[in-house]
Structure 1
Amino acid sequence: MNQTTRPWPALWALVIGFFMILVDTTIVSIANPAILEDLNADLTSVIWVTSAYLLAYAVPLLITGRLGDRLGPKRVYLAGLVVFTLASLGCGLSGTVELLIAARAVQGLGAALMTPQTMSVITRVFPPNQRGAAMGLWGSVAGVATLVGPLLGGLLVDSLGWQWVFFVNVPVGIVAFVAAWRLVPNLETRVHRFDWFGVALSGIGMFLVVFGIQEGESYDWGTIVGPITVWGVIVTGLVVLVGFVVWQAFNRAEPLLPLGLFRDRNFSLSNVAISLVGLAMTAMPLPLAFYFQVARALTPTQAALMLVPMAVISGVLAQLVGRLSDKVDPKWVALAGLSISGLALAWYSALMGPDVALGLLLLPSALLGFGISGVFAPLASTATRNLPRSQAGAGSGVYTMTRQVGSVIGSAAVAALMGATLAAQLPGVEADAARPGGGALPVELAAGFSAAMSQSLLLAAFGFALCAVVVLFFAKPKVTVGWGEGAAAPAPAAAATAPVAAKP
């Protein structure tokens, strides 16, 4: 690292684009009911708008992390920003749900190019004892995005239409490009080989699993065509994913998934934990958006306002939690945050009825804000604390990929769960009940619809609870000494495995 590099301005420039990605996710969640109605789509198709994005986001991450190492994180980040911004324009111009799904897939590719570079730059320009603070800023950006996204989305959908939740990315993308061009340093690069066969295996396996889970209800969990069944598709996908891992173990050239990184206990457990967090965070907003806008007949803006306590509290506290993670064992910070998040969602689920006072629903939202503020920074700092800089791109790519894999599974699982609970609570009328725009639902439909969304929300609560169990097994972080060019010694955990840093 060039000693004149100013890490904080570089990070601020990068988080503009990161903020845009996060806002885009939360904006789309609040806009889903309007998209469903305007494009005359069904619930499964609208959820594919999210799943296609997440799938295209997750699959290339192991390559894009390495691509940042090879070409430089700044160049790859800027390329991804251009793809994301142009794809956002395409999303807004889509006239059918199929075109929207395709544009969202391209948008996901852009996000895949951008995201690993953010973590890679943090790992490479911040010393270990400052990464918690840097991750705290990263986490606070996520908190602010959860506030701005739904509110901005609600206002745009109510005033200009759902298309503008995508058009708004264009000016933000331009500003982000200029800031990154000026402030992000050109870091040293390394030569990498790219395992395209591994990419194909991981992509095919994940698509089959996601397709099977998300479309299972459409086929009554039976035959799709001929001898092909839903469960056959899911099992085949899992077998292909196992084949991917085996291939990584035998690929001696340069595997996509450096299995040696998983010898570090905290890196391994952090990846499991962040995948569960990705599942929970993706499974959470969709039932809430449909509950507020369909069962309670709120406008998108009003529905977004119900989430303000969560977003404000998590955004304010995330930076403080990041700094705390540098001073105490982040395991206990994460455990508290995850436990509170799970309890808050269980409380939410218990309250979600057709006539509960809306003010009462603000309380679990506020508690959820306290919980989420303690999740992202301690997990990220634990995962990356002892990674050698030479493997920053690979490590950040793996970590981000596992989070997105959890998000993809969460999107597919909540789609299946919502379909199943709607079918159970409103047999024969679930498709009409899920379509907004027709005014308040009759009491008997509102009760059934609320129960279905309440039950679906428990998937997110379960994800946070299981993640809390995982972090109990974190080891206390090792003390790191020496960082940067000319340091006396590398971190103890990295000393045995870190190769010589490539020359700039």
Structure 2
Amino acid sequence: MTDLAVQRHPHPWRVFSATSIGVVAVFLSLSGLTVALPTVTRELDASGAQSTWILLGYMLVTTALILVFGRLADIIGRRPLYLAGLITFAAATGLCMLAPSAGWLVAARVVQGVGAAAIVTNNTALLTDTFPPHLLGRALGWNATVAAVAQVVGPLVGGAATAVLGWRGLFAVVLPVALLAIVASIRVIPPGPSRAVAREPFDLAGAVLSTALLAAVVLALTPGVGSAPWLPWVCGGASVVLAVVFVAVQIRRAHPLVDLSLFRNRGIALVLVAVLVNAVATYAVTLLVSLYGQAVEGISAVTAGALVMPVAIGTVVAAAAAGSLVVRFSPRTLTAIGMALNAAGLLGVALLLDPDGGSLGATAPLLFVLGCGNGLFMTPSTSALMLTAPADRRGIANGLRSTLQNVGYLLSTALALVFATAGLSAAARQAAYGGTLGELGGGEVARFADNVRAVGIALAVVALIGVVVCLAFPRRNPTATVHTLESVTTLKESA
């Protein structure tokens, strides 16, 4: 079917610049709150469950709606849904900034997640429509880089804003960025024909099942969701049933929410699995280090933000280098090395987080190694996916990549919070989230520190599993092949 929505922009990098502003707003809001969470917990007197859901509510809704909004964008148009997402996100950010209670903030974060999902989904779809095929892989690679850099810089921004303006300062920083994204997008993104597959029905059953599945998984993993001790077990069993039903429904659908046929391609399937594993292994580290530093060592939010800054520096350096390396080395090699660096960094950080003899300052080189691993993984994995997928399936493939990456973020955060606070009393758990656990002293502090180290070691093991997955990638270098094809295409076009 001809894609009627494609309107090649005469200046596609202008569209990239406009959509990148929206991406920055989304990921600053996603990761910036990790270092501000203790301050939020104290000032709003949030319970342990509320503190958890201030983070997870945003992530759950964003993850659940990425595929849904991706499909709706195909039907009603990318630009309208993207702008609606930006407006929703900006309005919800204002509500977050004004939140008088923890419950208000959780609700506002959920609405913010709805807007974020529309932004993330349509951001990549707009780029797919705007860029010519020979530049698409490069644009999506840079798009992933912008998201990753914003994500890892977020804790520093959140810490600095909290130190100067209080925790509401983070949202005061994000709001003008979101407003700028609205103005830039209205000016730069062309209206164009709005419907690519308007005659294809929307998979409502798939949308409901996928949302319910993710919610069941998170509820099964999250402590304090209710007073009934059996609830996590019921949610865990429900998630298994929902997963089976979801796959069965998608296989039978003529126009499914998730095109499972892409997983028949071994190269695509392995890249998607690696993206999920990398996100699970690496995302929670800034949260863990920040919580540990504030709860056990008593450092401030701004110090916690600066403490994890080496991750951002390493990511930027390695991602920039990877842009050149992908032409000379296979994604298999680069992603495996990146995962190995992740494992080394995670293990080293975990061993240093020891209140009896460790040093937070000594974690800086290891966090830099972790950032390098993440940056080295990111660009070649995205390029490999885009250049392995058929040209008419790249948008869907990247939508799956974005969804699985966000699922990894969600699982990483949920599991880290669950196991880091395992065995703590309700009061100690709230103190850990509020950054005041050190005041309680005794066994609670030692137990929390032991838990954090155990989580770090477990994440390092996950990263090692990722090395194995990456080594199973096809040996060919699709990036180099397409680089050659780009040169040929450019010569033909100039002739």
**TM-score class normalised by the smaller sequence:** 0.7 to 0.9
Show the counterpart of 2:17.
12
Q: Deviations over 1:37-60 (max 9, x none)?
A: 112123332111111111111112
Q: 1:207 aligns with which of 199, 202, 215?
A: 215
- Is residue 339–residue 464 contact of structure 1 (8 Å, CA) maintained in 2? yes
SS at 1:375's partner residue?
helix
Q: Deviations over 1:165-217 (max 9, x none)?
A: 12322211111112222233456641242111111111112211210111379
Show the counterpart of 1:120.
125
1:303 and 1:79 map into 2 onto residues whose CA distance is 34
Shift of 1:450: 2.4
Q: Deviations over 1:137-177 (max 9, x none)?
A: 33442453245322221122122211221232221111111
2:59 and 2:323 map into 1 onto residues whose CA distance is 26
Show the counterpart of 1:502.
none
Q: 1:244 aligns with which of 243, 246, 251?
A: 246
1:60 and 1:433 map into 2 onto residues whose CA distance is 31
Identical positions, percent: 28
Q: Is the aligned partner of 1:176 residue 2:178?
A: no
1:4 and 1:201 map into 2 onto residues whose CA distance is 36
Q: Is the aligned partner of 1:469 residue 2:474?
A: no
User: 1:124 and 1:338, CA in 2 relative to 1: closer, same or farther beyond 3 A?
Assistant: farther
Show the counterpart of 1:493.
none
Counterpart residue type for residue 269 of structure 1:
L
Counterpart residue type for residue 395 of structure 1:
A
Show the counterpart of 1:329.
330
Shift of 1:412: 2.1
User: 1:383 and 1:296, CA in 2 relative to 1: closer, same or farther beyond 3 A?
Assistant: same
Q: How do residues 70-469 of structure 1 correspond to structure 2 at under 5 angstroms?
A: 70-126=75-131, 130-146=135-151, 148-186=153-191, 189-191=195-197, 192-215=200-223, 224=229, 229-252=231-254, 254-354=255-355, 355-420=357-422, 422-423=423-424, 429-437=428-436, 442=441, 446-469=445-468
- Is residue 132–residue 323 contact of structure 1 (8 Å, CA) maintained in 2? no
2:155 and 2:308 map into 1 onto residues whose CA distance is 8
Shift of 1:247: 0.3
Shift of 1:464: 2.3
User: 1:88 and 1:460, CA in 2 relative to 1: closer, same or farther beyond 3 A?
Assistant: farther
SS at 2:74's partner residue?
helix
Shift of 1:446: 4.3
Counterpart residue type for residue 91 of structure 2:
L
More helix by proportion, 1 or 2? Answer: 2
Q: How do residues 5-84 of structure 1 correspond to structure 2 at under 5 angstroms?
A: 5-84=10-89
Counterpart residue type for residue 384 of structure 1:
M
Counterpart residue type for residue 469 of structure 1:
V
1:217 and 1:347 map into 2 onto residues whose CA distance is 33
Shift of 1:376: 1.6
SS at 1:164's partner residue?
helix
Q: State the TM-score, normalized to the length of structure 1.
A: 0.86
Instruction: List gaps (5 residues or longer) in structure 2.
Output: 1-5, 491-495
Show the counterpart of 1:495.
none
Q: Deviations over 1:331-375 (max 9, x none)?
A: 211111111011101100001112533431212112112111112
SS at 1:357's partner residue?
coil
Instruction: List gaps (5 residues or longer) in structure 1.
Output: 488-504
SS at 1:168's partner residue?
helix
User: 1:460 and 1:5, CA in 2 relative to 1: closer, same or farther beyond 3 A?
Assistant: farther
